[in-house]
Amino acid sequence: MTSSNLTGAIFSTDAMQRVFSDRACIQRMLDFEAALARAEAAQGVIPETAVPAITACCDAGAIDLAALAAAAGPAGNLAIPLVKQLTAQVAGVDAEASKYVHWGATSQDAIDTGMVLQLRDALDHIDADLAQLADALAKLARQHQHTPLVGRTWMQHALPITFGLKAAGWLDAVLRHQDRLAELRARVLALQFGGAAGTLASLGTQGLQVAAALATDLGLMLPDTPWHTQRDRVAEVAAVLGLLTGSLGKMARDISLHMQTDVAEAGEPVAEGRGGSSTMPHKRNPVGCAVALAAAVRVPGLVSIMFSGMVQEHERALGGWQAEWDTLPEIVQLTAGALQQMRQVASGLTVDAARMRANLDTTHGQIMAEAVTLALGGKIGRMAAHKIVERACHLAAATNRHLREVLVQDTQIIAELSAGDIDRLLDPAGYTGESAAFVDRVLQTYHRRSPHSRQE
């Protein structure tokens, strides 16, 4: 439920650290307690006169966090000592009102609903950053829709693509994650309120009415049943954030590879104190990418904890639920940190189109061997053409010559293709297939999804 450490500024964000701070965690549980008092009073379960004192004391600033932490171990959770402190504070204001603190609820109701309220805040921040990342990627995709780039498979030169297509691929994934995050809200942002065994028996015939009023007060969905040991909701959050972090890691991997000195096709934003080395003044390290990649390494294991914890015992879990308390906030914080870094990287990414074009010539025309093969194959058959062009590629490599030089000297080839044909076939910009069309398709989806978006 909380997270704070010296590396928080690296792997999280200021906003998300506030969402999952110790004080915010306690405040969200107290928000549940205050709303519970209002809902129960409205349904005649507790006296209206008890509400002012209870709600006035539901202030995390008045809670002794150190004492709370010390008592949580023996108690088994934070809610028990929190309710004890809250009751004592209410008693100091109104002894009669203190009788009705936490009336009919159980510890898990306060803890889970508090977590849901934290998740709502967290998802708002993630949605905002994700929208900004989409804007930045859409701009890159449009600007570089026709910028030729080496396409690489198995880490080797394959065929020409465009940098716009690569950016559109990143954007396409982001748009799907926006869909997933929007869809899960209706399932995940749900009240937890079931009392001791999930029956609300302590509230007599008023249980459902109180639950409905409580959900309305907190702005949460009222589920059909309490979900004390049905953990698919929080596991879904973990899973979707795991998917998002994986896509951010993919983007970070691509950009960091483009940043390698020997490739030098793109670079993270340049800023004072960013990406330097403690000993090598020339270094320009992909520090934003490193954060996203670290998150992509850490989050899958944490997601597996959330999945493992779903197998719970009867009406209250022994271990599985408790394993979520620090795990889910860590997933959210790592995702937020990776997302912020990649948003900043994408917004300030430097793209060297000239270097991209130069790298296309690294293999001295061999990157275009497929184009030559297909053109020749149209004359003599694909398999025969493949054998002839493969032989030409091997000869070009062995003699350190450009493929064109070898092709125009091959009698079998020149009998079917003119020197002009070969020059045209060896132009990388003419062999990017449907790259531009794919970019257009992704951008159309982006604009339909984001009608408010700025034109790239």
Considering the candidates 253, 274, 316, 355, report the single residue annotated as catalytic. 316
Q: For residue 160, what are the β-bridge partners?
A: 150
How far is the C-alpha of 427 from the C-alpha of 408, rounded, in Å?
15
| 357: amino acid identity, one letter | R
How far is the C-alpha of 176 from the C-alpha of 106, rounded, in Å?
37
CA atoms within 13 Å, Cβ hemisphere of 358 = 8
Task: For tokens 């339909």, name the residue.
Answer: 448
Q: Is 180 a catalytic residue?
A: no
Could you count the other beta carbons within 10 Å of the beta carbon of residue 456? Answer: 16
Considering the candidates 277, 304, 308, 418, report the single residue annotated as catalytic. 277
Task: For tokens 């100091």, name the residue.
Answer: 92
Query: What end-to-end distance do the CA atoms of the chain give, in Å?
Result: 39
Identify whether the C-beta of residue 210 lies closer than 8 Å to the C-beta of residue 27.
no
Say what the alpha-carbon torsion angle 324, 330, 336, 340 is, to the nearest 10 degrees: -170
How far is the C-alpha of 330 from the C-alpha of 299, rounded, in Å?
8
Q: Is 176 a catalytic residue?
A: no
C-alpha torsion sign, points 405, 410, 412, 415: positive
Q: Give the active site residues.
A: 277, 316
